[in-house]
Amino acid sequence: MGRRFTRSSISLAAASLLFCLSATAQDAATPDATEPLPTIPVDSGDQPQPLPATTADDDQQGLAEIIVTAQKRVQSLHDVPLSVTAVGADQLHDINASDLTDVALYVPNARVDTDDLGSPQVFIRGFGTNTFNPSFESSVGFVEDDIFYARGAYFTEAMFDIDRVEVLRGPQGTLFGKNTVAGLYNVISKGPTDTLSADGRLSYAEDNEKRFEGGVGGMFNDSFGARVSVLAQARDGDLENEYLDRDENKMNQKAARIKLRYLPVDDVQMDLNLVRSDTSINFWPYELFNLDNGTRQYLHSFDPNLDEDPYDFKTSFDAPGFIDKGSSTESLKTDWTIGDLGPIHDAHAVLVGGYSKLYINQLNDLDVSPADLLRLVNHEHYHQTSVELRFNGRADSLFGLGKSVDFVTGGYYFTSDYQLLAQIKAGKDLGSYLLTRDFAQLATGNLNAPPLTLIDLPGFPILGSLLSPVIGDDYYQFDYAQNVKSAAFFTQFTWNLSDHWALTPGVRVNHETKTIDTAGTGCPAKGAASSICVTSLLLGANDYDVPGKRDETDISPKVALQYIWDENLNFYTSYARGYKSGGYNSLSYTGTDLTFKPEKAATTEVGFKSRFFHHTLNFNTTLYYTTLDNLQVLAFHGATTNVGNASATSKGLESDFQWLTPWRLLTINGSFGLLHATYDSYPDAPAPIANGINATQDLKGRRIAFAPKQTATITPILTVPMPWDLAVRIAGDAIFQGDQYTDTDLDPHTHVGGYWQYAARVSVGDQNDDWSLTLGGSNLGDKRVLNQVTDAVLFPGSYYAQQAPGRQLYAALTLHW
């Protein structure tokens, strides 16, 4: 399989290269009559301007330049020797994106699952981290407005008033620090514009979903400006809990951002950024399925109408679960334009400091059933402080050799504190569960074990009520405290060796100290009727209290070489290393085997970036090969979450294009990804439950979960000028996700086949984009797909299913002033 995949990738790359070379020859033979491409000044606060509608007679207009800060300086995306996808504000609105899950659908080899607001799962090129275990940090970094956030939960904070999202694939450890072994999401929000402006978007969708986001601001004089933006959204939820007669996923979110800009002197710009977000949601979005007769008989005692269809958006569990989550961030960025400093030109000194805090309070029905068996109560508190000082500029040459040199160098300091208090609490029906075959199976490790009563009793709710006083207020509690201190020095420069060659080396040296204190405590609360630790017995847990400390130093180098054919075509190859620190299992039941090792990734890329036919076609392609040592993995064994390390390899291809067709009313955008990610070593991986309780397997050579073999999108956009200065815009999406497994054990029940989804929207608005009214929909075919499937906690052989959204129709009004 691997050999065939590699050959097909090389063949596709070769075909792309031949296409580009022929296009270049055509460009060289045709006089360039195009106008200069418009650019987007990033740091000045100017926002991207919409591409004006074109006609068949207007053949001078090309695609707008895409400007990014993927290397911590303003650059054209065309010039960056990285595999990067940038999604701008107009596209975010066009696809009705409300979070990074929506964005990831249009990014090759990327996946974001934000159904669990506290523990999102983010993957790039098959690598990511299931942050259900709170001690795991994401392998994909998250940066917003120059602030790096170290907790995965920030991926699900409010995304509003956004200028663009940059998705950087592959290790980004040189410039963006630790925890970027798989890649990085770099999010940039809108800032004050040169003149007073405002925009807003109001949308309404199925499930009574209402969303408003908007912002207003500008420079009030030569020295002071501001932008204020808000988000308010609410929905009823798409998963009906028939037992509680309520909607799971019912959500309410409010957020606000204030950006203040102050120019005390002509050469200094200071941006103060204040952000607050609060979210509450009914939780969680799971359904039971594949019940055996004994489990079904037991649970029907509590709900005779128990639903087992994981595709019908219905569930049945007794605990009114919730997540209350929020964060606040204050940051200050000071940019001093030094200008010429000896041999250095356009010198800038940038100081970025930030403080952020995050809280999560949640209650979950751990058994996801109408029986009150186990509940998870979780409280998390986190805060971080970071400071970065960097200096960038340009020199005419490097010690008189070659041509110009663009560089960035600096230092970074980060500290954080995290506290977790979590309890698995016994429910009032746990006594009746102790008489079931499911409990006997867990207690003995034998799937064929008879119930402890030697009679296959159905289990009666009354038994739980009778035994409830005996069990008492029983729980198992996790206490976890962690402090992290990290300091780094980084430097990177691009040396233009000649008109056609450029070399970009870089390195980051990072030292991190991680101090923890973790404890597990069982048994009933003081004064309870029983001295038997029922929950501890059920979980195989014992009491412990373990301190720990790690000191780690890492050097992450990078080097890229570009060959610049001409201004429209360049080739590059690169090598980069990434690093993510090791840590301790915060959800251990025994206090043993707590540690997991740091991840280290090494990636080689070969690609090209091109723009042809008078800047009407952008086409970019990257081939990559990544090895990852000590991949941090989370293995579910019923209620336990074991952590460990594996090694893996990922190789594949990423392409994207934007084409303004000869019929200038039509633009076609698209992307394509190939992904082949497998374990090199994972000898003690969890095995499917059919192999036995707590059985293991060797996954060497097997696929990684959440790694679809192919991803693709195609988006035609037709813009038709109309009378009265109006325009009609019609767009559609065909989105393909390849087959993949959705749990580490590669259980056949967790496999999701490849599928297509379709979306479309029609907009009517002013040709100057002052306003537009849009009617649209996603997943128009109402394709029913499971996002994730995992083993049920207390019912061996049964599963929890998390269903992806079905068909969604919406209407939106967008205004610009």
Domains, the chain, in order of start with CATH, read 2-816 (2.40.170.20)
Average pLDDT over residues 61-83: 89
Among left, alpha and beta (phi > 0; psi -120 to 50; other), residue 154 is alpha
For residues 359 and 366, is the Cβ–Cβ distance under 8 A?
Answer: no
User: Which is nearest to 546 in space by CA: 467, 479, 607, 597?
Assistant: 479
CA distance 278 to 327: 7
What local confidence, expressed as pLDDT, does residue 540 receive? 83
Task: Return all residues near 754 (Cβ < 8 A) that are at least 6 apart.
Answer: 708, 709, 710, 736, 737, 738, 739
User: Which is nearest to 165 in space by CA: 85, 259, 59, 63?
Assistant: 85
User: Which is nearest to 166 in space by CA: 144, 147, 151, 199?
Assistant: 144
For residues 111 and 101, is the Cβ–Cβ distance under 8 A?
Answer: no
Q: Distance of alpha carbon 182 from its chain centroid, rounded?
A: 11
Q: For residue 778, list its beta bridge partners.
A: 808
Average pLDDT over residues 340-366: 95
Residue, of 435 and 508, whose pLDDT is higher: 508
Name the amino acid, one letter, at 146.
D
What local confidence, expressed as pLDDT, does residue 39 receive? 32
Task: Return all residues near 777 (Cβ < 8 A) that are at least 6 apart.
Answer: 759, 760, 761, 807, 808, 809, 810
Residue with tokens 């102790």: 434
Lowest mean pLDDT: which of 214-223, 427-436, 726-735, 765-774?
427-436
Instruction: Give the three-state DSSP class for 18.
Output: helix
Residue, of 608 and 447, whose pLDDT is higher: 608
What local confidence, expressed as pLDDT, does residue 199 receive? 94
CA distance 8 to 675: 12
Give the up-direction half-sphere exposure of residue 377: CA atoms within 13 A in the CB hemisphere.
Answer: 10
Task: Return all residues near 586 (Cβ < 8 A) that are at least 6 apart.
Answer: 133, 134, 135, 420, 478, 480, 482, 518
- 27, two tokens: 């460009």
- 455, two tokens: 């009679």
What local confidence, expressed as pLDDT, does residue 449 receive? 77
CA distance 583 to 549: 9
What local confidence, expressed as pLDDT, does residue 638 receive? 55
Helix/strand/coil (H/E/C) assignment for every residue in 606-643? EEEEEEECCCCEEEEEEEEEEEEEEEEEEEEECCEEEE
Residue with tokens 């497994």: 741
Average pLDDT over residues 281-301: 91
With cut-offs at 50, 70 and 90, classify the pLDDT of residue 529. very low
DSSP single-letter state for residue 174: H
User: Which is nearest to 703 in space by CA: 127, 31, 139?
Assistant: 127
- 655, two tokens: 């392409």
CA distance 372 to 798: 17
**Torsion, CA 17, CA 18, CA 19, CA 25, rounded to 10:** 110
